[in-house]
């Protein structure tokens, strides 16, 4: 092959490889709850329970053998000790509420997993190194401040995290074009953050899993 043609082929191949590596990864929001009206009604009731912080009503829908971690200490007693749902200030209300706000998908006809950032996370992406943007036209800033310059806006992209960057409450550091930037933590979520599973058995829906990590 002519050297000039060979050189051109190498340049073109390198270019397209670079473009492929820089392709934007997107995780569009998904919520399949409406596929099952019975589950949709159950979830709407659960949202009302959370809004009222009604611990008695919540415990009625928690499965006796609910899984809450990876250490084997599961069950409703462990759930109550871990989350203290009788306390209005318990973080359970926020965490479970956030999970439900982000939709989810069915895993068979009698099981629903939320949020979609867990159930639809792409297998090829490391869940510990990346996070999913959960909004449209979210601003990425040069520093962890609302007064900082906007570098770009993103919609539902999967962004690489920058865990070694300066930690600032309310902000998440991300890697953007080899630069550390910041996004409001309300708009990005890890696949290994809290998630829930709901299963239908014995004529009713119940929460059978609520945990974080891997």
**Mean pLDDT, range 39-62, rounded to an integer:** 98
Q: What is the pLDDT of residue 145?
A: 96
Q: Do 116 and 148 reside in the same domain of the chain? A: no
The reply to whether 137 falls in a domain is yes
Q: Do 154 and 87 reside in the same domain of the chain? A: no
Q: Do 43 and 149 reside in the same domain of the chain? A: no
d(CA 195, CA 120): 12
The reply to whether 42 falls in a domain is yes
pLDDT value at 31 more than 70: yes
Residue 68 belongs to what domain range? Answer: 33-122+191-211
Query: How many folded domains does the chain comprise?
Result: 2
**Mean pLDDT, range 143-151, rounded to an integer:** 96
The reply to whether 24 falls in a domain is no
CATH label of the domain that carries residue 90: 3.10.450
Q: What is the pLDDT of residue 5?
A: 40
Q: Do 182 and 197 reside in the same domain of the chain? A: no
Reported as a pLDDT band with limits 50, 70 and 90, residue 177 is confident
Q: Counting Cβ atoms within 10 Å, is residue 79 exposed (0-12), middle (13-18) or buried (19+)?
A: buried
Q: Do 43 and 146 reside in the same domain of the chain? A: no
CATH label of the domain that carries residue 176: 2.30.30.40
The reply to whether 181 falls in a domain is yes
Q: What are the tens digits of pLDDT across the range 80-136?
A: 999 999 999 999 999 999 999 999 999 999 999 999 999 999 999 999 999 999 999
Q: Do 168 and 62 reside in the same domain of the chain? A: no
d(CA 130, CA 38): 34
d(CA 165, CA 68): 30
pLDDT value at 23 more than 70: no
Q: What is the pLDDT of residue 2?
A: 53
Q: Do 180 and 203 reside in the same domain of the chain? A: no
pLDDT value at 65 more than 60: yes
pLDDT value at 16 more than 50: no
The reply to whether 21 falls in a domain is no
């Amino acid at each position: 092959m002519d050297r000039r043609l060979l050189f051109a082929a190498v340049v073109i191949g390198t270019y397209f490889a670079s473009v492929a590596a820089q392709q934007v990864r997107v995780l569009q929001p998904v919520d399949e709850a409406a596929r099952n009206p019975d589950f949709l009604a159950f979830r709407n009731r659960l949202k009302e329970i959370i809004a009222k912080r009604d611990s008695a009503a919540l415990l009625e829908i928690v499965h006796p053998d609910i899984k809450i971690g990876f250490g084997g200490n599961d069950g409703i007693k462990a759930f109550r000790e871990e989350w203290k749902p009788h306390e209005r200030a318990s973080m359970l209300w926020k965490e479970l509420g956030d999970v439900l706000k982000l939709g989810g998908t069915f895993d068979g006809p009698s099981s629903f997993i939320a949020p979609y950032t867990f159930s639809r996370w792409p297998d090829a992406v490391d869940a510990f190194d990346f996070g999913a943007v959960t909004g449209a036209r979210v601003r990425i800033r040069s520093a962890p401040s609302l007064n900082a310059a906007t570098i770009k806006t993103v919609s539902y992209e999967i962004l690489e995290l920058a865990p070694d960057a300066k930690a600032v409450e309310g902000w998440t550091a991300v890697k953007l074009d080899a630069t550390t930037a910041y996004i409001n933590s309300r708009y990005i979520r890890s696949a290994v953050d809290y998630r829930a599973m709901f299963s239908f058995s014995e004529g009713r829906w119940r929460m059978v899993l609520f945990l974080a990590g891997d």
